[in-house]
Amino acid sequence: MDVLRPTLININGRMYRRNVIKEEHYEEEDCSYMGLTESEDVADETCDTHFIEQTDKGYRCAIDVPSVLYKYIIGKKGETRKRLEFDTKTSISIPKQGVEGQIVITGSYKSAVSSAVTRVEVLVENFRKKQPFTHFLSFPLNDSKIQEGFLTFKDEVLQQCSQDHGVEGSIFQNPAKLHLTIGTLALLNDMEVRKACEHLQECEKFIRDITGGKPLPLEVTGVEYMNDDPAMVDVLYAKVNVKDGSDKLQVIADRLVEHFVSAGLMIREWDRVKLHGTVMNTLFRKDSTVEDTGGTGRQATSEREAFDARNILKKFGAYCFGGFELNTVLLSQRYSIDCTGYYSSAGSISFS
């Protein structure tokens, strides 16, 4: 890490510096203290994101933390919690592992409780980023006409290009799961899922303002590849555009990401959302459970066998999968299937 440009952690709009320390590799239950012990940015920071109440014995603050993150506050053999308590002169009560609840911090002084709360927040925020995503915002492309066009595309590619290196049926997307990923979220308990659903509902108004309260007519035409060498491709995707040539779909996607990033539910990966409907992905080759929503599944990237897409691009570069009217944004759950074969939905909003 660059000493002059240390890692910054954003917590509720405030920026905290992560100290430069020698990092170690721990087993799953062993968690470092992230070098926050003597950070003046944290130790002297007052907490205004949580209510600290005065009690007969001093001060108390309860904060919501998903149970899967408790271990990072406890640390190996309880060392992280002990160090937090010693440094801040507070007591930290954590529910049993697997039991959703609040972490309660108590102390004789309000400033001590405030400091402990901020340090716990920094730990939680840092380790939250390392959790695999559980949900994603999506535009479904599994309209029957698009599925039919996709299956025809698959059949023709296998008939005409199966002799090309790496081209085989296993690397094609499941037609029922065709979609555009807007952004991914790690929602670690039911409360966070409900929060995400509430924020999605808040987006309905601006989306309807953009679409005029009507479904958005789209056309899925043409294919493109992700990397620089068409002879060594891992992902081939379909291009999706609004029929009137406008950028309404892109604007909606970017506004959604902006909203969820501001709410602390999503991490921004790009300046603009890269909308693409994956039709072929080498991650599917040896593991059909892998999804193209941003995760790498159980296969390391180095183990992926690329395919030669030059003939596919030459013969099907302008292939038309079909058109349909998009009318919904879904909060889709990873590794799940609904009655249509698409991802189960935790929440949704409509354009009309």
Q: Tell me, what's the pLDDT at 214?
A: 97
What is the number of H-type helices and E-type strands within the chain?
9, 14
Whether 306 and 195 have beta carbons less than 8 Å apart is answered as no
Mean pLDDT by 10 residues, the chain (352 residues): 56 56 41 44 51 93 94 94 96 93 95 95 91 96 98 98 96 97 96 97 97 98 94 97 97 97 90 95 81 49 85 98 98 95 97 96
- Going from the N-terminus, what domains does the chain have, and what CATH number goes with each? 50-131 (3.30.1370.10), 135-284+305-350 (3.90.1140.10)
> pLDDT value at position 303?
77
Give the pLDDT of residue 32. 47
Kindly tell me the burial class for residue 24, based on how many C-beta atoms sit within 10 Å of its own C-beta (0-12, 13-18, 19 or more). Answer: exposed
Q: Alpha-carbon distance 69 to 73, whole Å?
A: 7
Closest listed residue to residue 70, CA positions, set 19, 134, 120: 120
Is residue 170 within 8 Å of 210, Cβ to Cβ? no
DSSP letters, 70-134, are HHHHH-GGGHHHHHHHHHHTEEEE-PPTT--EEEEEEESSHHHHHHHHHHHHHHHHHHHTTSPP-
Q: How far is Cα of residue 289 from the mean position of the Cα atoms in its chain?
A: 18
Tokens of 4: 């002059």
Rounded Cα distance between 72 and 32, Å, is: 8
Q: Report pLDDT for 6.
A: 60
CA distances in angstroms from 292 to 138, 274, 330, listed in the order given: 12, 13, 16
pLDDT at position 24 is 39
DSSP at 67: G
Residue 92 identity:
I
Exposure on the CB side of residue 151, measured as CA atoms within 13 A: 10
Relative orientation angle of helices 248-262 and 190-202, to the nearest 10 degrees: 140
Amino acid at 98: G
pTM: 0.80
Interacting residues of 220 by C-beta distance below 8 A, sequence separation 6+: 141, 146, 149, 238, 239, 240, 277, 320, 321, 322, 323, 324
Are 344 and 338 in contact by the 8 Å Cβ rule? The answer is yes
Supply φ then ψ for residue 295, to 5 degrees. Answer: -85, 165
Predicted local distance difference test score (pLDDT) of residue 50: 81
Of 187, 188, 149, the closest CA to residue 277 belongs to 149
